[in-house]
Amino acid sequence: MPNQLAMEQTSAVGRDLAYTDPLTGLGNLRRFFDKVDRLIIERSEDPAPFAIGILDLDGFKPINDLFGRKAGDDILQQVAMRLKAAMDPHSTVSRVGADEFAFLFPMIFSEEAVLDRTNMLIEILSAPYDVGNRTARLSASVGCSLLFSGEENTETLVSKAETALYHAKRSGRGRVVVYTREMEEAAKRLTRIEQALRRAVSAGEVEPHFQPIVDLSTRRVIGFEALARWNDRDLGFVPPDVFIPIAEERGVIASLSQLLLDKATRVASQWPDELFLSFNLSPSQLVDQNTGYQILSILARNEFDPRRLEIEITETGLMTDASSAEKIIGELRSVGIRISLDDFGTGQSSLGRLRDFPFDKLKIDRAFVSSILNDKPSEHIIRAILAMCEGLGMYVVAEGIEDDAQAEMLSEFGCSGGQGYLFGRPQNAEATSAFLHACYGPKKGARAAIGA
């Protein structure tokens, strides 16, 4: 009998370990699913609503990289303690991913109630965290769903919460979103676009269009930025602000970028030698150590001079993994490729990035340019950026210029380059070749037309 008791106790301990997250002591994904399964069964005859939520820590990875893994584990333990302390006697919280937590609210019956409760959790998590002698701050995004029908199961409930979380993270940090049927339709549309995009990239159907970049003092074209355009045979024209985020989020961006760079450099290799090509890299490409090799291989295959290529990156891309970005930037600059910081002023840690990374060029975001004529703060910000860049020896291009008055004021302030509809909209290879033919004459135009 004692042996039987010992075996039962050992078995119980084993079950507890299988259902427990070792770092935080909270239940794990298995325990969370088990609790939701049990609650659905309990309420099968009288299915009173209840709520679940998936909580994701915003910006945890950069903090983990900055302070180290041990500090990251300490923060996760502090998060777990705060969440556990915030649960009422009926509710539970589990750790279900690296920086994801799930909670079950059995006694919450409405969307308003779950919003109130989860916003309180976000507020609790926003207080500073102790990391040795320093402190760190985090925010969190939450996706929630409510069970109203006995026909649903745990998997569908969690899937809906994850869909809501996706919408919460896309709409900004520190947000709570509760699942709606409209989100389901939006998710289905995203999946349709993703599948069509994968097919289009595989078939080489996404095309680069080229927008001129000019010298503001002479209005002469000095280069072009390559921009992705996609006209699908079934979906029609899909705007880049729709399909580029999908490509980034669904892991298509690397193959899409390689396709576009290959096409763009084949076209640009036929341009006059004094014109450069500007090309954007996504944040995920700055954490992929194959990025530099892929770019250089495409340049070599198309015999395109690296010194005629500018790579545009954003502050967000740099923040994802600074050490990886630094290595990739170093590889590119070593062969003469110039690096441009895009959308300056709209990201985070701008001045620190200018100090830490050797940028050749800075692009002022169109948000400041569009209001320069009637908004004194925008004017002063642009003046300050230009003065700073002059001290750093950095070339500056202003984006989004749409009328002569903006261009004149920017030139007067000392801005060297400009880009926007005033100088030309993005055009396909054929139209760009025709433009160059008009500017440089038949010989250069004929060369340009070869790559069209």
- The pLDDT tens digits along the chain (452 residues) read 556 554 445 555 556 778 999 999 999 999 999 999 999 998 887 778 899 999 999 978 777 777 788 889 999 999 999 999 999 999 999 999 999 999 999 999 999 999 999 999 999 999 999 887 888 888 999 999 998 776 789 999 999 999 999 889 888 778 999 998 788 788 889 899 999 999 999 999 999 999 999 999 999 999 999 999 999 999 999 999 999 999 998 899 999 999 999 999 999 999 999 999 999 999 889 989 999 999 999 999 999 999 999 999 987 777 777 788 889 999 999 999 999 999 786 655 456 667 777 789 999 989 899 999 998 998 999 999 999 999 888 999 999 999 999 999 999 999 999 999 999 999 999 999 999 988 776 544 433 333 33
Q: What is the C-alpha to C-alpha distance for residues 386 and 294, in angstroms, rounded to an integer?
A: 34
- 219 has which bridge partners? none
Burial of 404 (0-12, 13-18, 19+ CB in 10 A): exposed
Q: What letters, b where the CB count within 10 A reaches 16 and e where it falls short, cover 339-350?
A: bbbbbbbebeeb
User: Please, which residues have CB within 8 angstroms of residue 128's CB and are 6 or more apart in sequence?
Assistant: 135, 136, 137
Tell me how long the chain is: 452
Residue 66 is predicted with a pLDDT of: 76
Nearest to 51 by CA among 140, 179, 216, 174: 179
User: Please, which residues have CB within 8 angstroms of residue 424's CB and are 6 or more apart in sequence?
Assistant: 211, 212, 435
H-helix or E-strand containing 328?
A: helix 322-333
Residue 349 is predicted with a pLDDT of: 47
β 236-238/276-280 pair status: unpaired
Residue 443 is predicted with a pLDDT of: 43
Burial of 135 (0-12, 13-18, 19+ CB in 10 A): exposed
List, in sequence order, every beta strand (DSSP E) within 233-301. 236-238, 276-280
List, in sequence order, every beta strand (DSSP E) within 390-448. 395-398, 417-419
User: Under a CB-based contact definition with an 8 Å cutoff, are residues 55 and 102 in contact?
Assistant: yes
Question: 27 vs 6, 95, 111, CA distance in Å?
Answer: 24, 6, 25
Domains of the chain: 17-179 (3.30.70.270), 192-450 (3.20.20.450)
Q: Phi and psi dihedrals of 89, rounded to 5?
A: -60, -25
**CB count in 10 Å sphere of residue 175:** 21
